[in-house]
Chains A and B, each alone.
Chain A
Amino acid sequence: MDLFTAITLAVFLPFIMAGILPAAEKVLKNRIGWYATATAFLSLLLVARAVPSVANGENIQGSIPWLPSLGIELSFYGDGLSIMFGLIVSGVGILIMAYSNEYMSKREDLSRYYRQLLMFMGSMLGMVFSSNIIQLFIFWELTSITSFMLIGYWRNRPVSVYGATKSLLITASGGIFMLAGFLVLNIITGTFDIAAILQNESMIETIKGHEFFLFALVLILIGAAAKSAQGPFYIWLPNAMEAPTPVSAFLHSATMVKAGIYLVARIHPIFSGTDAWFILVSGLGIITMLAAGFLAFRQKDIKGILAYSTISQLAYMMAMYGYTTYQYPGIGVAAATFHLLNHATFKACLFLIAGIVAHETATRDITKMGGLRKDMPVTFIIGSIAALAMAGVPPLNGFLSKEMFYESSLEMGHLLGGPLEYLIPAAAVLGGVFTFAYSIRFIDGIFLGKRRSEHLPKHMHEPSLIMLAPPAFLAILVILIGIFPSVAVHYIIEPAVSGILLQEVHLHVSLWHGFTAALMMTIITFIAGIALYTKYDAIAAWQDRINVRYPWFSINYAYDRIVNGAQGKSAAFAAVMQPGPIKPYLVALLLLLLVLGAIPAMLVATTIIPADLNFDIPLYEGILLGLIVIASLGAAILRKYLHAIIAVSAVGYLVSLVFIYLQAPDLAMTQILVETLFTIIFLLVILKIPQTFRENLTRSVLARDLLISSAVGITVLVLLLNSTQGIAAPFESIAYYFIENSVPLARGHNMVNVILVDFRGYDTLGEIVVLCLAGLGVYNLIKSRSDSK
């Protein structure tokens, strides 16, 4: 199996396995989680096969035609960046699915849970390996949809539904902006293939000089920011914490929220090296980093703390990917990529620990915890390792990438000069201080201090090995990458950075490299962080007070106003558009007919009434028409339903006589039959309703109705008079085509029928679909009425 096939299989395997999962569940019952774990493991193996060759600089590329006429094909591209994401997604996937075996109660709908997890994993793999941007968009939205389903896994909890809806509204609509950006990119380049753009330097130059450059960049960045919870779009991530904790660990810390970061890294070669890139990406990153780090203080939910820390950590990566100047387009790329990998390890670990703690203490409120180190020493150690890695303490992996973050911030500041030379490193340190404070909070609040026994169950103990092993594995990775970074750097980070910078890169990462400015910044971070931690509760209380005093000072407030307002507006709109009684609908339809009929007629009119009209009507024809007029008047004037219906039927039968007179037996027969049937149905209906019109018609309503109906009547009359001459004269009749061709082409002598079933068969198919739907609609309307009684 060549590597392209392996990658394709790695993407589609989870989907296939999700498809046959319900069947497997019949056999495996409660052990179905191991089936999903095995699937993730297979995907990991398939992705891992590509590591050596990609590390040697040989990228994987290939495609399968899909919609060739639109230039859309199923094409996969595996460079270092994709492979790194592929490894994170499938690797963390294994741990999450294994952990879920114990975390999820056997009473839950396990089939749905694992099916959605597998579909998510497949979509995520598909997204990172997509070469075609339309395909990337499809997988991107698929991750949003599966995330929506997994956040709302507990469907009967209103908070879950709220969180799920919020995440879908924000991430999926961000995706639409991204699609628009991709289309702009396509307008500039004429291709949908990212790999083709990346491999073509002159094309990248064209994009950077193009007038739509900023337009495309902003649109794509909106999608990335919405997905990675950056800037004002951050609000969905805290609410997404209502998902089962393994889902939060998988989607909302390690993988899906990094999709936006992936996109930024993917388009980095195309857009970086410009001022706009630095201002937008780094600006967004730095602001989000500081704001989210600060807002983490008032979180009492342990998963809430982790959510805000995830937003802030993702913002680090954003800021670093944004560091760019014309000469040095990728200052922070290596640091950001390394931090991305490290964050996936320690943050997933922290979520799994949070899951264990919540499982054992039956609460997620950090103010009710404390002193758990005695009950759960192993959990305490693993959790502390991960939290210290997040805080950037040596010799853990977070320390290394935090140092690199400081270094790149210093370098960027130095290159820009002016006040920014100090402001950018200062912002970086401040972000680090916040991170340090909430990381310590996580350890201190849960495991250290005095045990608040009044809130906690009496017996708490270590979880089983199945729940402990995945976070333990991640904690070991955290230590190993920290002490021996060279393996991960050589096989994963260097190829990924090469993929972004489009050139061979060699990195040297080590724990100790002398008393550098970055090390000084780290030491400042620790001192300031400890100092800040002593004021932690005071700051949290102050934030709470602000929140109570100025409730409108939050993005969530705006979101709720917009969403709830939209519901109100829709209801008001629906009340206008669908008032209930039939008459307004009829008025709308007739007015539309007027617009559609009268306006074009006016535009092409030469003579409204054709000059050569023949008013010489035979007597019996005149009698027939006179009777029709009388019956129509009766239908309009009679006050009792029964009488009115008989009058309407009389019109119908008389019209069928006209058809016979005009030698149209098909029409006449149809008219008689339909009239008969509908008279019977009418009679069935009026037995159940009041026998007399009750509506009080005022003069003005009557005048309006009369005006509309006569206008429609006159329009139809004029159109009919002109159907063969007058204003219709410029148009040739299509009747002759059917007259000439119905026998030779369709072997039918009844032209009406030939048109219905052959020449216009498509129309007829549409009509019978409408007939079926109308039947179902009427039936259910009647049924719902009798049910509600």
Chain B
Amino acid sequence: MTTLITKTVSKACVPIIILFSISLLFAGHDYPGGGFIGGVMFASAISLLYVVFGLKYIDSIYSYQWDKWFASGLLLASLTGFGAMLFGYNFLRSSYLLASLPLAGDIKLLSTTLFDIGVYLVVIGSLLYVFKGTGEDE
């Protein structure tokens, strides 16, 4: 699968896929998307790189430690839960802040977004961890 065409196409596509996955993550609260879908999409993009260029080549550029990704994602998601407890609410109780900024207009800041980022990281990390582990096996 390492033809010139696939290499060129994937080089062009992967950044777009990743950007799209991030937009899915943040749009998720109101439009189709969310941490899980975004995470799987990110994982697909990276697995495309792995398949096309090979594990060794990717690792020689930058060795991703996916276990750290899912560990930090899980930490973030749990901390979001504990954050609510700091304010005297139950574990994982969500809250939001509606604000109006000069250029961006009306925005809303949700505590669930942080939680969703945690989900995003966990999905990416665990999928690619398994993916890499399977691929490395001789």
Contact = CB atoms under 8 A, between A and B. Distances in A.
Interface in B17-57: 28-37, 40-41, 43-44, 47, 51
Interface in B100-138: 108, 110, 112, 115-116, 118-119, 122-123, 125-127, 129-131, 133-138
Contact of A761 (B51, B73, B81, B131): B81
A747 interface: yes
A786 B137 contact: yes
Interface string A758-789: 10011011001101101110110011011000
B47 A680 contact: yes
Nearest to A760: B92
A677 B47 contact: yes
Nearest to A789: B138
Contact of A757 (B112, B122, B126): B112
The main secondary structure of chain B at its interface with chain A is: helix
Interface string A732-771: 0000000000000011111011101110011011001101
Contact of B40 (A665, A677, A761): A677
The main secondary structure of chain A at its interface with chain B is: helix
A1 interface: no
B78 interface: yes
A677 B34 CA distance: 18
A750 B131 CA distance: 30
Nearest to B108: A747
A28 interface: no
Nearest to A749: B30
Nearest to A670: B37
Interface string B50-82: 010000000000000001001101100110010
A750 B112 CA distance: 13
B10 interface: no
- A-side interface size class: 35 or more
Nearest to A769: B74
Contacts of B110: 746-748
Contact of B130 (A670, A762, A775): A775
Contact of A748 (B29, B35, B115, B127): B29
A772 B108 contact: no
A666 interface: yes
A673, A674, A688: which has the most chain B beta carbons within 10 Å?
Answer: A673
Nearest to B112: A757
A771 B126 contact: yes
B17 to A, nearest CB: 10
B134 A684 contact: yes
Nearest to A772: B70
A778 B133 contact: yes
Contacts of A753: 28-29, 33-34, 116
A403 B43 CA distance: 83
B30 A748 contact: yes
A666 B27 CA distance: 12
B41 A757 contact: no
A779 B65 CA distance: 13
A706 interface: no
A185 B119 CA distance: 48
A757, A764, A782: which has the most chain B beta carbons within 10 Å?
Answer: A757
The 6 closest A-B pairs by CB, nearest first: A775-B126, A779-B133, A749-B30, A753-B34, A673-B40, A665-B32
16 contacts: A670-B37, A746-B94, A749-B29, A749-B31, A753-B34, A761-B81, A761-B92, A764-B119, A765-B77, A765-B78, A765-B81, A765-B92, A768-B119, A772-B71, A774-B126, A775-B70
